[in-house]
Structure 1
Amino acid sequence: MTHNTSAPARRLDDGDVRVLLLENIHTDGRDFLRGQGYQVETRDGALGEDELIEAIQGVHLLGLRSTTYLTEKVVEHASDLIGVGAFCIGTNQIDLAAASRAGIAVFNAPYSNTRSVVELAIAEIISLARRLHEKSTDMHRGVWNKSAQGSHEVRGRTLGIVGYGNIGSQLSVIAEALGLRVVFYDIDDKLALGNAQRCATLEELLAQSDVVSLHVDGRPNNAGFFGEEQFAQMKDRAMFLNLSRGIAVDTTALREHLESGHIAGAAIDVFPVEPKRQGDPFESDLRGLPNLILTPHVGGSTQEAQQDIGRFVASKLRSYAAYGSTSLSVNFPEMNLRAEEGRHRVAYVHQNAPGVLARINTLFGEHGVNIVGQQLATRGELGYAVTDVATEVGEDVLTALAAMPETIRVRHLS
């Protein structure tokens, strides 16, 4: 982990904090941050790497969704950035290691859109089973195709859930209430809810599932997770859903199995490459198949979910900027902090090495700083020490802290 050579951050008054929100983040998030006195700029679309480097100059807090990528190169050019909010579940679009090395805290919304994704999955399972999308297309073409052929109830069918996290487990409960039998597979040991049954292997799940719904995260080793081998193991005329990560599925293999009729139907909401802005052209080898529902990454795109995400992530960014709180941060040591009246606070991000706290306190003592409260937490190679003191800390103290070899970032708070 490298040492951050940027100057120690002086205290930022609320009116000095600059925020950049991208990709149509809900107005509740914007309004909350503006209500704190922050300078908030919003942009509708995603930004490419060079565009983001230009836009992020002087920005302290960044909000993005799934199509803007915070790469190591961007981080290297973002000397003022202290916090990033992913206004979504996933954080694979953010180089978390680079952010940690630069002392940038990252937050997301791991629970806010769970219900919305689950409801879309249920809707698509029923639509595929009843072939509603095909019948709607026929009607728009002026064709009256009133037939029960190929249409089925979902009751009594087996749903296989791959990935039993927040979304997968809630899908399990609602699917069972509709009369589906539920099996699931997860690499971690997860508690089965209701009557769901755990499968020891993915192969065991595929062999018995009438519907397979994918709910995995975006970690790099999930790229190509579901391909030709997995599709070939699915039951004849089974259905397939991916509302998780586009990189996880081999779309060429999916198309071949849909065209052959082995897979009866599929619904895909996420893609390996997605347009950056509203209205941009969408290209995919999955286009044009009648037994395939395509949606533009709208699993969590309900007004309720986006409103909740906007408020939740914005409040996390505010708490970190103002108080140093890292509650539910995806890359920083966890520390739930509140404002303390009559105190001043120094937040010190550092390499996790023996003796750092002792050296910090020795330095404070040498400069006559009286400590009234202190917390330390570590996470992997990263350490985070928050010290409350009786009087405002001078520039000489911040400079001395910044000069310590373990220092990544120093912030002087209230």
Structure 2
Amino acid sequence: QTRAQVLFKRSRVPVTRRVVEACPDLLVVQLCCIGDDSVDKQACADHGVVVFNDPVSNGRSVVELVIAHLIGLSRRLYETDAVCRTGAWNKTNLERYEVRGKVLGVLGLGNIGRASARICEQLGMEIRFYDTREVAQEVGREFGWTPTESIEELFETSDCVTVHVSARDAARNSNKALLSGGVLHRLGKRRPENSPRIFLNLSRGFLHTVEDLRSAVEAGAIRRAAVDVYPQEPRGKGDAWVNPYGDLRRVAVTPHLGASTQEAQPRIAERVSRTLRRFSHRGAVRDCVFAPRATLGLGDDNRSAVGAVLVVVHSTARGTKRSIGDAIYAAGASNLSSVHRDFMEYGVAIDIAAIDTPLSESQLQLLCDEATRVTGRPDAIRSIRQIVG
């Protein structure tokens, strides 16, 4: 066991239930990346551990890789380099295209998808998109981009498709196998015969199987592809790996390096440091993977009157939140302001309260006991932290 309260996690290092249970004092898992697939989020919620990620800092690096692949594949640069190294001089315009005038389909209009679309539009591409989130649809329309009714329509009406989706959709359903079932074979079906038909996946390895993409490329449905993520990846640099597309010259592969630039890593370090400092000093919550894009925090009103901030992670059982307020009142303290958020998918909630005087250890224990009495659940209070000063 360890007495660590904060765990910083890089890309592929797994945080399992066993890891969480080996850290009885753990309060935060801070991911130094976007993806949270390798964290047992339910185990964290069960033990009152908040999980933060960084959804923005590596965006520019990924976007530039998208642009590089779009142009590189459109001009067959990777294949041509390999041929030139054999001593051959095959100068031809066969299957070489400008991106200008082509239709780019963007699956997922988040930060990276939106930024990719804006740059590609400046290159003269027409933008179509598919995203089930209402906010994303509104943003896309504001930019003048064309929404599609389905993923199938997006693929059929695009010359190139780039994928930028999270592990779960807006309804919190898994996006695993989102592109299985023949979706990849639909690319460019409603476009001219000489469509470049390019597919990029720099997002999630589990959106399609290796067999799905191999089948589409071998059938000619996808003329060229670039992949940066895979269903199974090595845990670390230098580990053995078998390239599943090694025999397909039309598929460009990279080892999950979309965010691996000299510029992105310092940005990630700065953001996760700020996120953790805000939580540590004021109890503020942002970039929480339990509810992406949700922000919780107390304002600066009556700051001088605040004696402590209580951050309570608790179950969503009825009566738990009220028992916290009752315990604060019973201790003779005043609740100056508070914010609350339920994360129903994980059966957990966060309550942040500014009180005029700190609670003693015995009063904090009474708070836990009262929540257990009201709800009948010994795990009603998952974790409690008091920030004084």
- Same fold per superposition (TM over 0.5): yes
Distance 1:224 1:366, change over 3 A: closer
User: CA offsets, 1:106-134, max 9 Å, x none?
Assistant: 11112222222111111101000101111
| Match among 190, 204, 219 for residue 153 of structure 2 | 204
Q: Partners in 2 of 1:360 and 1:257 — Cα distance?
A: 56
User: CA offsets, 1:201-251, max 9 Å, x none?
Assistant: 222222221111111212363212113511222236511110110000221
Deviation at 1:350, TM superposition (A): 1.9
> 2:229 is aligned with what amino acid?
V
Deviation at 1:298, TM superposition (A): 1.3
> 2:307 is aligned with what amino acid?
R
What is the 5 A alignment of 1:34-183?
57-183=2-128
Q: Which residue of 1 aligns with 2:350?
A: 384
Equivalent pairs counted in the alignment come to 358
Unaligned runs of 5+ in 2: 373-379
Q: Are 1:402 and 2:368 matched, yes or no?
A: yes
Q: Which residue of 2 aligns with 1:336?
A: 297
Q: Which residue of 2 aligns with 1:213?
A: 162
Q: Which residue of 1 aligns with 2:377?
A: none
Q: Partners in 2 of 1:62 and 1:213 — Cα distance?
A: 33
Q: Partners in 1 of 2:183 and 2:61 — Cα distance?
A: 27
Q: Partners in 2 of 1:317 and 1:114 — Cα distance?
A: 20
Q: Partners in 2 of 1:90 and 1:398 — Cα distance?
A: 35
Structure of greater relative contact order (alpha carbons < 8 Å, 6+ residues apart): 1
Contact 2:298 2:339 in 1 (8 A): no
Contact 2:8 2:32 in 1 (8 A): yes
Q: Which has the larger displacement, 348-357 or 280-289?
A: 348-357
Contact 1:323 1:338 in 2 (8 A): no
User: CA offsets, 1:156-183, max 9 Å, x none?
Assistant: 1111111222211221111111011111
Distance 1:194 1:357, change over 3 A: closer
Q: Partners in 2 of 1:376 and 1:174 — Cα distance?
A: 39
Q: Sequence identity, in percent?
A: 33
Unaligned runs of 5+ in 1: 1-53
What is the 5 A alignment of 1:182-197?
182-189=127-134, 190-191=137-138, 192=140, 193-197=142-146
Deviation at 1:357, TM superposition (A): 4.8
Q: Partners in 2 of 1:251 and 1:358 — Cα distance?
A: 50
User: CA offsets, 1:36-83, max 9 Å, x none?
Assistant: xxxxxxxxxxxxxxxxxx6xx222111223312222333233211101
Deviation at 1:259, TM superposition (A): 2.9
User: CA offsets, 1:326-349, max 9 Å, x none?
Assistant: 133232774224795672333222
Q: Which has the larger displacement, 341-350 or 102-111?
A: 341-350
